[in-house]
């Protein structure tokens, strides 16, 4: 087990810059999730920790030992690939024991370690099979088994669940979390699925365009997104954004409606603002009151547990997530309240959070 320190890491492929000045320190036993849209450089950063990509500039340390020049095999790290990368010509048992064999571990020790890992993951009946004869979920388990069998200093995961169907993904997600609780090893997990990030992470690192946008625990990112990117990325259904300007002590939206400025926030007259409000924080009220809005229902999407209601409001297709069934009827008007404490304000120029 180990801590990982990433300091001023930059990566360019030829002339193309991919990562810009990344700083991150991962504590011993911590589960950190790198999340961001496709192409933002998550895998590249992970592969640099693994030693599979050169480091253009900066330094990576494991337990205060600089590893920039250390070969992958000497970093004592395990990795689970999106493609699983199981060795096709070896049985499950051989796949799992390969790393131990390379380390010249005694045969009884290998059998013991493979047995223990197989037990943890329910792989016992599959040990003599080849990867070709396994289902996707079973291959995923073997890939996990191959990683945990040798008790490495850290685990790296590159979208390990993205090839599974939704149900299996949920199941494995919980299993990974349980596994981390029991093994407690330092883990870096890459995903573009924000639910996976929220549910698994001790800390989330949100990336975009090769730059870290925000680092924090999952609820921090949900409650206080640092900028428009994080606000839009974390949460499902995604946050609503309403554009407006500060005029005479209120925010005037593009359609001329007015939104009160939350307490304790100072805005400059004329400042361009984007208001963010999560669909689950838009309230539907029975009767119009002061400060409520009225809008016609455009679309109703029942999800089973809740319902997503689309209305046209504040110059926007505004989504509302409600747990009340049958409250919205397409074409009917509806009264809506925005709690000022639940609003997120962003400067539209810098895209950063205000307050």
Ligand X SMILES: Nc1ncnc2c1ncn2[C@@H]1O[C@H](COP(=O)(O)OP(=O)(O)OP(=O)(O)O)[C@@H](O)[C@H]1O
Please report, as ranges, the residues that interact with other proteins according to CB under 8 A. 47, 50-52, 71-73, 75, 77-79, 81, 83, 85, 87-89, 98-99, 102-103, 146
Shortest separation between residue 157's beta carbon and other proteins, angstroms: 12
Contact with ligand X (CB under 6 A) among 43, 186, 227, 253: 43
39 binds ligand X (CB under 6 A): yes
Among the listed residues 183, 189, 212, the one whose alpha carbon sits nearest the alpha carbon of residue 202: 189
72 touches, from Mg ion, other proteins, ligand X, none (C-beta below 5 to 8 Å by class): other proteins
What CA–CA distances, in Å, run from 344 to 203, 227, 268? 21, 10, 16
- The burial class, CB within 10 Å (0-12 / 13-18 / 19+), for 38 is exposed
Contact with ligand X (CB under 6 A) among 18, 35, 149, 176: 18
Which CB, 73 or 107, lies closer to other proteins? 73
Contact with Mg ion (CB under 5 A) among 5, 32, 34, 43: 43
44 binds ligand X (CB under 6 A): yes
Indicate the SS3 state at residue 113.
helix
16 sits in which H/E element: strand 16-26
Shortest separation between residue 106's beta carbon and other proteins, angstroms: 16
Dihedral sign from CA coordinates of 50, 51, 54, 59: positive
Binding mask 174-213 toward ligand X (x if CB under 6 A, else -) reads ------------------x---------------------
Distance, CA of 341 to chain centre: 25
138 binds ligand X (CB under 6 A): no
User: What single DSSP character describes residue 348?
Assistant: T
Contact with ligand X (CB under 6 A) among 9, 33, 42, 229: 42
Cα angle value 191/193/198 (rounded, 5°): 95
Shortest separation between residue 58's beta carbon and other proteins, angstroms: 21
- Residue 156, number of CB atoms within 10 A of its CB: 27
Shortest separation between residue 89's beta carbon and other proteins, angstroms: 5
13 binds ligand X (CB under 6 A): yes
User: What single DSSP character describes residue 160?
Assistant: T
d(CA 249, CA 243): 16
Shortest separation between residue 95's beta carbon and other proteins, angstroms: 9
d(CA 52, CA 263): 50
Contact with ligand X (CB under 6 A) among 41, 131, 152, 216: 41
Cis status of the peptide bond prior to 237, with omega within 30 of 0: yes
Which CB, 190 or 334, lies closer to ligand X? 190
d(CA 41, CA 210): 5
> Where does this chain bind Mg ion (CB under 5 A)?
43
> Where does this chain bind ligand X (CB under 6 A)?
13, 16, 18, 36, 38-44, 192
């Amino acid at each position: 087990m180990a801590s990982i320190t990433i300091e001023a890491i930059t990566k360019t492929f030829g002339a193309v810059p991919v990562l810009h000045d990344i700083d991150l320190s991962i504590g011993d036993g911590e589960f950190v999730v790198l999340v961001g849209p496709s192409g933002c450089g998550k895998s590249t950063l992970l592969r640099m920790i693994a030693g599979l990509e050169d480091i253009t500039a900066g330094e990576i340390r494991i337990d205060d030992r600089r590893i920039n020049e250390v070969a992958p095999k000497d970093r004592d790290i395990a990795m689970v690939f999106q493609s699983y990368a199981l060795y096709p010509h070896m049985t499950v048992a051989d796949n799992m024991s390969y790393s131990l064999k390379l380390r010249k571990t005694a045969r009884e020790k290998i059998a013991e370690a493979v047995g223990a890992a197989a037990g943890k993951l329910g792989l016992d009946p599959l040990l003599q099979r080849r990867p070709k004869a396994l289902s996707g979920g079973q291959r995923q388990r073997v890939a996990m088994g191959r990683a945990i069998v040798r008790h490495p200093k850290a685990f790296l995961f590159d979208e390990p669940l993205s090839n599974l169907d939704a149900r299996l993904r949920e199941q494995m997600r919980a299993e990974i979390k349980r596994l981390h609780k029991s093994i407690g090893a330092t883990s870096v997990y890459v995903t573009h699925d924000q639910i996976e990030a929220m549910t698994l992470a001790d800390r989330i690192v949100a990336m975009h365009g090769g730059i870290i946008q925000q680092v924090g625990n999952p609820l921090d990112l949900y409650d206080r997104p640092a900028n428009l990117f994080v606000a839009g990325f974390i949460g499902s259904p995604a946050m609503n954004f309403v554009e407006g300007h500060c005029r005479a002590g209120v925010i005037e939206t593009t359609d001329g409606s007015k939104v009160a400025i939350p307490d304790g926030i100072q805005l400059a007259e004329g400042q361009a603002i984007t208001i963010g409000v999560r669909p689950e924080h838009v309230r539907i009220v029975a009767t119009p009151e002061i400060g409520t809005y009225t809008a016609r229902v455009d679309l109703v999407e029942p999800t089973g547990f809740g319902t997503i209601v689309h209305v046209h409001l504040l110059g926007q297709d505004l989504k509302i997530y409600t747990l009340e069934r049958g409250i919205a009827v397409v074409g009917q008007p509806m009264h809506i309240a925005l709690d000022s404490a639940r609003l997120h304000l962003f400067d539209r120029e810098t895209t950063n959070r205000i307050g």
